Every structure is written in C-alpha cells, then in structure tokens.
Structure 1
Amino acid sequence: MPAPQTADSGLFVFSKELFRRWTYQVFAPGVLLREKYNAFRELLRFDDACLELIAAIEDIHYGQAAVDWARVVHLARRLRISVEEMVARLTRLSPAHHLDLPEYAKKVDFYVQMALDVPAGDMAPPFVVPLPEVAGDAARAGGKAANLARAGRLGRVAVPPGFVVTTGAFRYFLEAGELRPKIDRWLRRVDLARPNELAEAAAEIRRLILGARLPDEVAGPLAEAARALAVGPDGEPLLLAARSSAVAEDGRASFAGQYESLLDVPPDEAATAYLRVVAGKYAAKAITYRVLTGYADEETPMAVLFLPMVPAVASGVLYTRDSADEDAPMAAYAVPGLGADLVGGATTPERLALSRRPPHILLDRHTLDAPVLPEAAARKLAALGLALENAFEAPQDVEWVLGPAGALTVLQSRPMAVEGAPAVAPPPRPDVPPLVVGGGRASGGAAAGTVRFAATVLDVADIPPGTVLVTPTLPPALARAADRLAAVVAVAGSRAGHFASVARELGLPVVTGVEDAFHALAEGAVVTVDADAGAVYPGRVASLLARPRQNRPSEGSPVAERLGRLVPLIAGLTLTDPASPDFAPSRVKSLHDIVRFAHEKAVTEMFSLVGPGARGLASARKLKSHLPMTMYLLDLGGGVFESAAKDKELRPDQIRSAPMWALWSGLAADDTPWPEGPPITDDTAFDQTSGGIFASDSKHLASYAVVSDLYAHVMLRFGYHFTVVDALCGPAESQNFVNFRFKGGGAGYEQRTLRLSCVRRILTHFGFTVRTSGDLLDASLARVPEHLVQKRLAMLGCLLAATRLLDMRLSGEADADAWVDRFLARTDR
C-alpha cells in the first residue's frame, strides 16, 4: 500500500513534474506537445464520464429514475474517481498553475462522502431478547415487534408471548459472512426500469443469504429460545410463527406483505426459518417497495419476531378509522380460521362497521355466508382498537385472532394510511356510459391506462408503464409492478389486504369485487378507473383525471433527504464565467464546479501558444465570421489550406477539414435559423447569467476545434449550454463516425429537458442512436458513407444554431411539437 501523500511529498511530486516539463520544453518540445495533447484527450474522456455520472444522479434526484441507494453510492464513487483523474490530468497539462485545486477538491469530496454516509448501526449482543423488553425500541426490534410489545404493556390488550432476534444479529450475520459488499454489488444494479435485472439481483442475494452459515453467537440463543417458546402452559408442544420485523416496517411505510413470514415452524427449524425471513428482505417485491418509499437497505435491517401459533376460530383486520372523517366508523374485516387469505388479497371477507364511540354499536354487516365475527366480539375488538389508537396517537391497522374460548389476541398494530373521503367529481359526459359499476374502493383516486389481463402477463417486464391491470385477486407481489401500474381492477380482494395498504401509500387506484372484470373490459383498450366510485369508463375521462394526485411516496423519505444534501455538492454549478476573478479553485462548491474549472483551464492551456514560434504544433487561430460566436481552430495537419499556413486569423473558406467544413456550412447557411436573443439591453450581463452564446472575443469564452483533413473535434460554448462534436469523414465508410454531446442550458431543469426531447426526436429522425440522462444527451452515427456524414454534420450545424436559447422559449409540450415540425420541414427539403 503506498504511503499517504503529505504536503512535502506533494511539493516534491510537483517540483519533479515541473522540472521534467522544463527539460522537455528546452530539448524536446515535440515530445512535450504530444504528451500535453494526450493528457488533454484523457482529461476530455474523464470530463465525458463526469458529465454522464452527474446527469445520472440528477435523474435519480428529480424522479426520472428509481434505483437502490447502493447505485447512488456507486455512481458517486465513480464520479469522485473521475474528478480526481481530471485534476491529475490538469496538473500534467499545467504543473505550474492551479496548485491549490487538489486541496479544494479534497474538501468537496469530503462533504460528498458525508452526504453519502448511512450510519452503520449497532451489532452488539444480546442477539435474542424477550418480546416485552423491546417495547417501543424499533431500532433494535423493528417496527412490528416494538409496536406489539408496547401494545402488550397497555394491560387490556392481550398479545402472545414471544422473542425477537434483533437487528444487531442481522448486522452481525452479514458481517461474519462478509455478505454486505456482495449484497451491495447486486443492489447497485437495481433500477426499477429494468425489472429483469432486479429479479436477477434479488435471486442472487437470497441465494447468498440462504447459503450462508448462521454464526453460533446467534444460532445458539435462537435455538434455546425457540425450544422454550414451543412449550404451552400445560406442557403441550407448540409450533411457532416467524414474522418479519424490519426497521421502518409498520412505521412511515407499512411494508405490508412485502417481507416473508412463516407459520407452523417446528422449534428445531427456527434457524432455517430465521434465514428465510432474512432472505425475504431481498425479494423483488420488497426491494421495489423499499426503493419506491425511499429507504436505503442499511436503513431497514431485519429483526425476526417469533410467536407461538395461536388457535383461531376467526381472524382478520380492524381499521380504527377508515377515512379522514373523525366520526367515520371503524371497519372490521373477518374470515374463518387464520387470515392468510385475507391479508394476501385472495378472498373477499366479511365487513363490519362499528361506531367509534362506546359502546361501539354494530352499524352494518356485509357477509357472503353466515356471520364470522360475533357482535359481542366485534364490539370488544373495537374497544381494543380505540385503546391502541389512543396509545399510539394515530389511527391503527390491527391484526387480530379470535380464539376458541372467545378471547381476542392482537398479533400486530401499526399506523395506517388514512385516505380522505371519496372524491366528489363532476359526472362524466352523458355519452360516456361506464363499463363497470358497483366495485369496491380498496384504494382511492382516478387514473387512465391500457387494460392488461394478469393471465396474459407472465412477468413484470411484460407490463408496460401505464397499465390498468385486471386480476383475479390482489396478492402482495403486485407491489413489484407498482411503478408500472396506473390502476388495478380485481375480481376478489378487499381494503384489508396487504396490497391494498401498499396501493393507498403509493396513491394507486384499486377497485375490488368486480366479478365480471375479465368480460366487461377488453384487453388493449384505454380506460379510466374511478376507484372512489368503484367504476371504470371507456377512454380518458378528463373530468375524473383532473383531480390532484398524491405526492410521490419517496418525498420526505431518508433517501430524498440525503439526495437533497448530496445533489448540490455533486451537480451544483457556481463557476459560470471563466473570465471572472471568482473562477478559481477557492470558489468551488461542488464536483461539477471542479469538472467545469478543470475543463476550462485545460482548454485554455491546450490552445495557448507553445513556446517561441509554437514549435511542434500549430497554434490556435481565430476564425473570422458573421456568426454570433467566437471560435478558434487548432490544426493538427491538413485541416486548413496551405495558403493559410501563415495567416494569424482564418476565414471559413480556408477550412480544408471535411467534417469541420460540413459542420460550419450548417452553422453558417443562409437559411439557418439563428434566433434573436431575448430583449435584454445589458448583453454582457446576460451572457454571464443565461444560456446565451458568449459573444466576447475572450478565448475563455470561445468555442474551439481541433481539426485535420478527415477529423474534427469541436467544442462549442453556448453559455450554460455546451456541445461537443467528434467526427471522422473520409472515403473509408467503415471508419466514419459522428459522436455528438449536448448538455445544459440557462433555464430550469424541466425546460432544459424539454429542449433535450426536441433534439432527441430530430436526431432519431435522422438515424442517430440517442441516449439521454437528465439534461445530457449523447448521440452517435457510424459506418455510413462520406456524403451522408457531411449531410448529417450540416444538419447538426443548423440544429445547434436553432437550439440557441430554445430552453427559454419553450413553454410546454405543444411548443416543443410545433418547433420540431418546423425544423424537420426546413431540413428535410
């Protein structure tokens, strides 16, 4: 391992580099210039990588990409390395300048690392603790166990005995098996837009966990506690339930049905059950839900709650308040026996409405066959629910069991997402009769999309975004597709199911009890689902879709808060004017600032005169033209006609480089639509604070081109917006290419991305392969004939002129569509 670099060692390296440069400049200037140009090209390569990574992180921050936090950490690490490499290349280019940049870059990097940090958490024993000892201690026991233990302390609420394998045991298990780095390598691949990769990552992580050895420090106390819990009050043997109890579960987010819980576990199989529940943390549906609700994996360590199996005559769920109306009745959902089918969304339960005020009168009962929950038990259940609501100071979702002797046992109590009253919307037009009426409101709201039948959807990847899914039941696994669904229409299921809870958190409309759903709705048809009214209409019904939608579930989440701190340190840009005295290392506040500074100073260094007579390489010369921009050309050989070899300035007609001339012909064509700038009288100030083209003759604000006879690398400065064109244009078709990069602008993020969509559509029309991320676009065209390269470069020149300040002029999608149509009408002629 190399020794850490001290200030003295850094000075030695700098002095050595400076001496080497001086030696080359005196005795071998050609070698120095080649090395300088190689360092410049490497710096540009890292500059490209930095801009891609910044754009990818901005995409995540602005909600355009839903990924695991491990991916953010991975992208930021790659960015930090690339920034460090840029600084190193700038030092090679200009060893006597910007000596303080590395130190200021280290300070920014330190703050970035702090913003990325997620506290590791405790892994100290004891790893197995009795349930009563963890009351309210969600950090150690997870939300489910902590809430249940707290409920047991109320005295009037019966809860089973049990014990918890703590979150510390989970962390110790990962540490002992060296699993955390392996898990993170898979999680950083998680992007909800790529469900197949998510499924692969989930499967591999579960395989790692199930194949790992449970440390003796956990396995021993677990086995002992399981044997003790499996003996009933009269000495009879009992089976156990192993239930997930992760941190954040049953809290701000419910994680309802997303983790695995096991029933009827023999005590000698407790260790195997523990590993299965831990592995359930990494099911594809659980990862999807965690990403959508904005938690990092480290923020949701898994505790496991072990309880004895409780005999059940009936079981179900109680909602202590089923709407935002404080006088709304309580709602009890009941099924015979154990309630797995109820919470799993596979059955339609009995529903009872009870008054909130004692003595909790039974107001209504909907049952399919004979009553399941006796009225007396229902009223007692309502009293328990109200006690829990008062204790937790929030409406509660209570899971309960009714025993053979009529005793009620509470298995779970968690805060519930309370919806507002069903929206009262203007009725659809009389000419829009509903396709479905009389459905149940499992999760409110309205949305439109294309009907897909669950029977024909074999995988999440087969579900296009904007799908209205028609399904026989509401299994919790549907949460894995939540980001792709517009709405759900189900034959069976209820508000009491786990997926219904998740849907309410995510703002996803769900209608249940539609027995003829597969006949009333046609696959492939566009429909509008009004879950508040339990109806489905053909087409898009504007009056229903005009209702305000619920905020994204990730807003205000731990990940959102960290991104809010991280993104300014990564993507913020304060160094905007290279000619300003504030354009200095001491002013950098973000990695983007460092990238901008290194790029600008590298360009300045590369295109400055090199020694007396510019030995070894032609110096950059200004290109004189009528265009509202300043450009300098650096000829690598054959890029300009020999007659211009001694000219201090160049005219466009002296350009010999085939790709450069083609690009310039588009920029300077008589019909090229160079737009007028906005009506601002102080043009200098505007150039410094907007996305306009800098008109100053300063080389700091100019565009540059490195050219040869067949090659051109062009960097066009458009204020906050810049572009790079890299092209080879010659008779060898297999070698020809055009690479194009477009980023930035002076307007807000939405306007910049709107302009980017215009550029993308035009480039796609002309055969380019295009990739966008945030406000960054990359496009390429390869292996095409020489004449086609020239035509496409001319089109690019016209496009670059036309997009000047376009981000500030576009007000919406309609403007963008009209602008694209006008451009294509002009250039397709």
Structure 2
Amino acid sequence: MNVISHELVDTMMKAEIPPIMIEDIFNSYDSLQNQAGRDVKLALRSSAVGEDTRSSFAGQYRTILNVSKNGLLDSYKAVIASKYLPRALYYRISYGLLDTETPMAVAALEMIDSAVSGIVYTEDIEALDSNIMAIHSIWGLGELLVGGKISPDIIDVKKNQNPKIIRRQIGSKSLKMVFSPENSTETVPVDDEKQGLNSLDDASALLLADWGMRIEKYFKEPQDIEWCMDSDGRLFLLQSRPLRLERPDTKPLECKFEDIENNVRVSGGEMACPGIGAGIVFRLDRESDLENLPEGAVLVARNASPNYVTVMNKLNAVVTDTGSTAGHFSSVAREFGVPTLVNTGVATTRLTHGNDVTVHADGRAVYDGIVQQMLESPCAQRDLLSDSPFVRKLKYVIDFISPLRLTDPQAESFVPEGSRSLHDIIRFVHEKAVQEMFHIGDKRIRKLGGAKKLISEIPMLFYVVDVGGGSRQNQAGKKAVMMDDILSIPMRAVFKGLTHPEISWAGFTHFDWAEYDKIAMSGGIISAESAMFASYAVLSHDYLNLNLRFGYHFVILDAICGNTAEDNYILFRFSGGGADMDKRMLRANFLSGILDRLGFKVNIINDLVDGELKGGEKKLIVEKLDIVGRLLGATRLMDMYLKDSKMVKNYVEEFMNGRYHFASVEM
C-alpha cells in the first residue's frame, strides 16, 4: 500500500491545476484579504464527504497551517493528495468506503494566532451518562494535542443550567506550536513557569461549556468540538463532529478482577478506548518500524500518532507515554475498538520489547504476561466498526442474499415472481432442477447418448452414462457393462451396500399382494423387462448422480467422493410409496432417523425426505454411501408393514445394529 500511495500522491503533486481554478482561488484570496484589510494567512484543511461524521477520518488527511498567497497552490494540492496517504487509504478501505464515496474539497480558513487551543467533549467518555463534559486545552496551536504529542490540561464541568467546574488536571505542556517567521509553524518549548499553569481560565471554560451544551442540544448527540483562543482572549469554535461513544444495550459490565497474581507494570494514564487486550510488546522507536509490527501485538509508543491507523488490524492494544483522550488517534481507536491507554508517562520505560503483557484499559493497568481470566471476560469482547459503512453494506448485501421465503414447493407462492432474495432464486432453481431429475427417468433412457445397460446382482433394469473415468475404457461398442467394469468410487460404494449379504432381493410373501396390486412385481422391484421404468446413473470416477425407481417410490442420490475433503458431499432424496400416506410418513421418519445417525442434515415434508452431508475424507464418504446403499435395500417395502412410531424407533436401532431385513419380522 505504501508504494501505491507514493505513486498516487506523486502523480497528484505533479498535476497542473486548471487555469480557471487558479484564477478563482486567487480571486477568493484577494477578496478575503480586502475584507480583512491586512495580510491574511490561511489554514488549508480537507473537507471530504464522510469526514467528521460517524466515520471521523480523524487525523487521516492533511491540514496545512499559516499559508500565504504564494503557497496556496502547492498547499491545495498537498491537501487533496493526502486523500491517498497510507493512513487515509487504510482507514477508508477498512471502513468499506469506495474512493468515489469520499470526494474531497479543500476548505481555506483565516488563521487565528492561537494563544490557547483545545477540544471539548460534551460527554465524559470514561463515565457515560454522568452529565459531565471535559475541556482539554494546551498552549499555542492545537496540532500537538490532536496529534497525540502532548498531554493537555483537563477541566471537568458538570452540565446543568449553571455549569460548574468540578475538577482540574494540569498536563505536561512542555511544548507548543506557534507561527514562524517563514510563513509556517514551529514547535518550541514552553516556559518553565507556564508549564504548571492552567492554560484556560475559569470564565472561558464555563463559556465553552455553555456553547458545548447548546451545540450538543442542536445536534441531539454528544459532540467533539475544536476551539481556540487568540492573544486578545477571544474564543473561536473551529469545528464540531459527533463524539463516537458505544453505549451498551444492557447494564454496563463491571470490569473488575480479583486475585490477579501477575505484576502490574504500568498503572495510571487515561482510557482512550475501553477493553482488554493482550499480546507481545512492540515498542516503537521510529514510525518507519511499523511495517515490522507482528500480528496481535501491543503497541507501546511515546505518543499517540494518527499514523498508527495503518496497523490497526494487527493491534490487540495500545499504550503511550503522552497523548490525550481527545486526540485524533484516540478517536480512531474507539472507532476500531482497540483498547487504548494514553498519557501513562512511563510506558516506554517500563514495558520491555518482546515481553507478553495484558492491557486493561478500563482499569488503567498493564500486567505482566497473558492474564487468561481477563481475556475470557465479556469485558474483553471488541465490537469492531459495528456501525461502519462496510458493516452497513454487508448487512444490505446479506439482507439481499440470505433471507429464504420460498420454503414450501407446494405453496402457490413458490413461483419465480415470489423470489425476494438470491437465496429464494437458488432455492427455486434447485427445487425445479431436482424435480426435473426426478422425472427424467420417465423418459426413454435409450435417448441418452452413450447409455449402457448395467448387469448386476440386483433384478432391475439399470443404465449408466459414463461422463469420464467412471468405467473401464475397453467398453467401446458394448451395449452393456458388468459391475466389475464400473470404476466410479461412489457408484461402487452404493452398490456394495445394495448387494450386502444380509439384504434379500427375493420376492416377498409376507403381505397380501392382491391388496397391493399396484405395487411393482418382483417384491416391489421394477420389472427387468420394463424399460419405461428403468433406473439410471450418471457417473465419473469421483461423481455419481443416481436415480432409482423402486415400484412407486423414487430415490435420487448425488455425491462427490474425491481427494479434497471440503468438496465431498452426499445429497439424498426419497419420495413416494405404495402404501397410504400415514405409513409412507412412518418410513420417512425411519429414513430420517438413520440419516441423522449418519451425520446428515435432514428435512422431511410428508413422505419426502431430503438429506445432506457436506465435507469429509474420501474414506468417510465411501463408508456413508455403503450404509446408504444398505438403507435403500432394507426399506423397499417398509411402508407396507410399519405400524407406529414405536416400531420406527425400534427399526432404527435394529438397522444401526446391522439388521437389514424386516419384511417377515414384526416388532
């Protein structure tokens, strides 16, 4: 991605801005300068579709400060090109946003020579629904705060009709960013005496609190507001975006743990994103080392840079020396659900590169080793990008693909017009294809090119069509093949079961056949002379599609039995019979009981039984097909003598114990 990013940025920086745009840019600048009556410096910042919404893009695009007229064009291109920086590309792609969904403009704002800058969170991210807002402030321009390079002062304000300051925290404001004489910015040390002073006075804090409450009320949700104060003490609001907060649907979890024997390596800091994460420490000395970060690491760094977004998918947790819950990286961490602890002051000195640690962000603690008790807690669960465009698109796609409404082939709604999803279409096509397979045996099998009569031990008319590798190659010109000539693995497995020694293919005398004169001859087996009712198989070395007709009931078996386990399967369908519906349904329950024992997923509708077995090594599939063959042989006329569900249950047990002949024995 870095290479692609470099090429894209380089191409854009070398591109020529259309003359008409150059004219408009300079005319607008001159108009702004005339209104101000003085030289104007600008802040050029991105203004992309989707930015500062639910997907904040916080810190992913460039902002260029203190730009004069001479630097406008290059700065404009640099901001536009930042859409293709590695961090911005990773963020956008992770969120599932297309390039065309995030067109970018550049906003040009008059620079304010900020004496103090900061951020207002209109809700406390560490204590939701506490009715407290947090005001963060630093000396100078705000870039060091949002960039995670400095720890700010924090003022907590109780929100009510008369806001009240309830807590102050002084940050280590050792640096500040200011304008430089060269029409740019520079970072300089803060005077020692100012480092320990509050950067924001009470009156200004309360005014910001009032503005924050009004903005929150207007947008009807908590806000993340950037502000600044000029050297004359005037406050300015720079922007407001939604403050991403995940409120649990139920009572918040109590993420407290007792009897933890692991040593605490780091204690304190600020929780930028809640949660628990564990892994090997990767201590970052240079940002260029990010490319070496391993999967599942705990990133330990001096500051909380927005550039870390490029490795978010590898991180189990983040711990930094400096930074703020109001920084850009903290916003992104919450969006990605990565447990993050900032402003610990000591992370890089106390956590050793390569050691395992467990980070409990809610408890503001880092423990030696992997604390399994914590990782197994519900508090460790992460909800990654749950409201991202990617997830919303995925939900839309799933809603379009997955719902199944066409469930009953007998229903009037089971027509093409009744389809409301791809699943419906597939279900309809599959059902009609199976029905066609089911009826194709009614057609003269001789019409199938290459069909050969199969000579076997079973007294029934049977044809096979070899589509490649299913029989010996010396069969040219022959009208019939012997079972010994069949090479198809699934076909041989089924016939091995059908011809099991315990299965009798002799005529049955247990029943009064005068009462069942519609049943086919030969004890329910189709007459060998009746080509009209022949069975057939389409086969290859690893494949079988078998269509069997036993009198008035029918069987379809479709199977692959190859070397790739995940490609193997068995599909089974059984329907019909010569008895009344109640008895046919008893036989369906018997078949279902056996198939369920064999690991099939089974579905029954009246006397129709569908079974599906997906995946399995070749040996396993062969064994299952053998047993299915025995099952078919054992159940030819079972609908005639099954009487009740108790008998069905007993027959299932008998079959699984190796009994395959039931006609003359009543249970």
Q: Where does structure 1 lack aligned partners over 5 or more consecutive residues?
A: 1-197, 671-696, 728-737, 747-776, 780-791, 803-829
Change (3 A) 1:385 1:721: farther
Residue of structure 2 in register with 1:634 after alignment: 466
Q: Where does structure 2 lack aligned partners over 5 or more consecutive residues?
A: 173-194, 499-525, 527-534, 548-554, 573-613, 628-667
- 1:243-282 matches, within 5 Å, as 243-282=45-84
Residue of structure 2 in register with 1:617 after alignment: 450
Residue of structure 2 in register with 1:392 after alignment: 219
Residue of structure 2 in register with 1:338 after alignment: 141
SS of match in other structure, 2:109:
strand
CA shift, 1:617, in A, is: 2.4
SS of match in other structure, 1:274:
helix
Residue of structure 2 in register with 1:445 after alignment: 275
CA shift, 1:242, in A, is: 0.9
2:378 to 523, 547, 560: 547
Residue of structure 1 in register with 2:640 after alignment: none
Superimposed CA distance per residue, residues 348-372 of structure 1 (whole angstroms, 9 cap, x where no aligned partner): 2222233434353363232333312
Change (3 A) 1:622 1:501: farther
Residue of structure 2 in register with 1:734 after alignment: none
Paired AA for residue 204 in structure 2: A
Say yes or no: does 1:365 pair with 2:169.
yes
Whether the aligned pair in 2 keeps the contact of 1:576 and 1:720 (CA below 8 Å) is: no
SS of match in other structure, 2:256:
coil
Superimposed CA distance per residue, residues 545-578 of structure 1 (whole angstroms, 9 cap, x where no aligned partner): 5134677454455544444343354456677899
Say yes or no: does 1:223 pair with 2:54.
no
Q: Distance in 2 between matches of 1:567 and 1:380?
A: 48
SS of match in other structure, 1:428:
coil
Superimposed CA distance per residue, residues 236-255 of structure 1 (whole angstroms, 9 cap, x where no aligned partner): 21221111122222222322
Q: Distance in 2 between matches of 1:308 and 1:560?
A: 38
Whether the aligned pair in 1 keeps the contact of 2:227 and 2:235 (CA below 8 Å) is: yes
Superimposed CA distance per residue, residues 690-714 of structure 1 (whole angstroms, 9 cap, x where no aligned partner): xxxxxxx9xxxx997643xxx6556
Higher relative contact order (CA 8 A, sep 6+): 1
Superimposed CA distance per residue, residues 100-155 of structure 1 (whole angstroms, 9 cap, x where no aligned partner): xxxxxxxxxxxxxxxxxxxxxxxxxxxxxxxxxxxxxxxxxxxxxxxxxxxxxxxx
* TM-score normalised by the chain length of structure 2: 0.63
Residue of structure 2 in register with 1:240 after alignment: 42
Say yes or no: does 1:502 pair with 2:332.
yes
Q: Distance in 2 between matches of 1:580 and 1:302?
A: 52
Q: Which moved more, 1:458-467 or 1:401-410?
A: 458-467
1:411 to 238, 244, 256: 238
Whether the aligned pair in 2 keeps the contact of 1:583 and 1:597 (CA below 8 Å) is: yes
SS of match in other structure, 1:380:
helix
Superimposed CA distance per residue, residues 508-544 of structure 1 (whole angstroms, 9 cap, x where no aligned partner): 2111233332343343443321111110122134246
Change (3 A) 1:218 1:726: farther
CA shift, 1:311, in A, is: 0.6
CA shift, 1:208, in A, is: 4.8
Residue of structure 2 in register with 1:112 after alignment: none
Residue of structure 1 in register with 2:630 after alignment: none
Q: Distance in 2 between matches of 1:237 and 1:744?
A: 80
Q: Distance in 1 between matches of 2:68 and 2:537?
A: 74
Whether the aligned pair in 1 keeps the contact of 2:452 and 2:463 (CA below 8 Å) is: no
Q: Distance in 1 between matches of 2:558 and 2:333?
A: 43
Change (3 A) 1:251 1:580: closer
Whether the aligned pair in 2 keeps the contact of 1:573 and 1:592 (CA below 8 Å) is: yes
Paired AA for residue 340 in structure 1: E
CA shift, 1:793, in A, is: 5.0
Q: Distance in 2 between matches of 1:801 and 1:264?
A: 81
In terms of fraction of residues, the more strand-rich structure is 2
Residue of structure 1 in register with 2:119 after alignment: 317
Change (3 A) 1:497 1:637: closer
CA shift, 1:616, in A, is: 5.2
- 1:738-757 matches, within 5 Å, as 741=567
Change (3 A) 1:278 1:456: closer
Change (3 A) 1:221 1:794: same
1:466 to 292, 296, 313: 296
CA shift, 1:272, in A, is: 3.3
Change (3 A) 1:432 1:304: same
Superimposed CA distance per residue, residues 265-285 of structure 1 (whole angstroms, 9 cap, x where no aligned partner): 222443433332222223332
Say yes or no: does 1:564 pair with 2:391.
no
Superimposed CA distance per residue, residues 313-349 of structure 1 (whole angstroms, 9 cap, x where no aligned partner): 1212122221454454332222221111110011222
SS of match in other structure, 2:299:
strand
Paired AA for residue 371 in structure 2: R
2:319 to 471, 478, 489: 489
- 1:517-532 matches, within 5 Å, as 517-532=347-362
Identity %: 30
1:475 to 274, 296, 305: 305
CA shift, 1:307, in A, is: 0.4
Paired AA for residue 72 in structure 2: A
SS of match in other structure, 2:264:
coil
Superimposed CA distance per residue, residues 671-701 of structure 1 (whole angstroms, 9 cap, x where no aligned partner): xxxxxxxxxxxxxxxxxxxxxxxxxx9xxxx
CA shift, 1:406, in A, is: 1.1
SS of match in other structure, 1:435:
strand
Greater Rg over alpha carbons, structure:
2
Q: Distance in 2 between matches of 1:560 and 1:419?
A: 16
Change (3 A) 1:442 1:205: same
Alpha-carbon RMSD: 4.9
Paired AA for residue 564 in structure 1: K
Residue of structure 2 in register with 1:102 after alignment: none
Q: Distance in 1 between matches of 2:622 and 2:108?
A: 69
Q: Distance in 2 between matches of 1:622 and 1:346?
A: 84
Superimposed CA distance per residue, residues 702-742 of structure 1 (whole angstroms, 9 cap, x where no aligned partner): 997643xxx6556799x999875678xxxxxxxxxx79636
SS of match in other structure, 2:280:
strand
Q: Distance in 1 between matches of 2:59 and 2:237?
A: 17
Change (3 A) 1:714 1:267: farther
Residue of structure 2 in register with 1:817 after alignment: none
Q: Distance in 1 between matches of 2:235 and 2:557?
A: 67
Whether the aligned pair in 1 keeps the contact of 2:321 and 2:343 (CA below 8 Å) is: yes
Whether the aligned pair in 1 keeps the contact of 2:451 and 2:464 (CA below 8 Å) is: no
SS of match in other structure, 1:259:
coil
CA shift, 1:473, in A, is: 1.1
Whether the aligned pair in 2 keeps the contact of 1:362 and 1:375 (CA below 8 Å) is: no
User: Alignment length, in residue pairs?
Assistant: 513
Whether the aligned pair in 2 keeps the contact of 1:402 and 1:408 (CA below 8 Å) is: yes
Whether the aligned pair in 2 keeps the contact of 1:260 and 1:276 (CA below 8 Å) is: yes
Change (3 A) 1:220 1:444: same
Change (3 A) 1:306 1:442: same
SS of match in other structure, 1:450:
strand
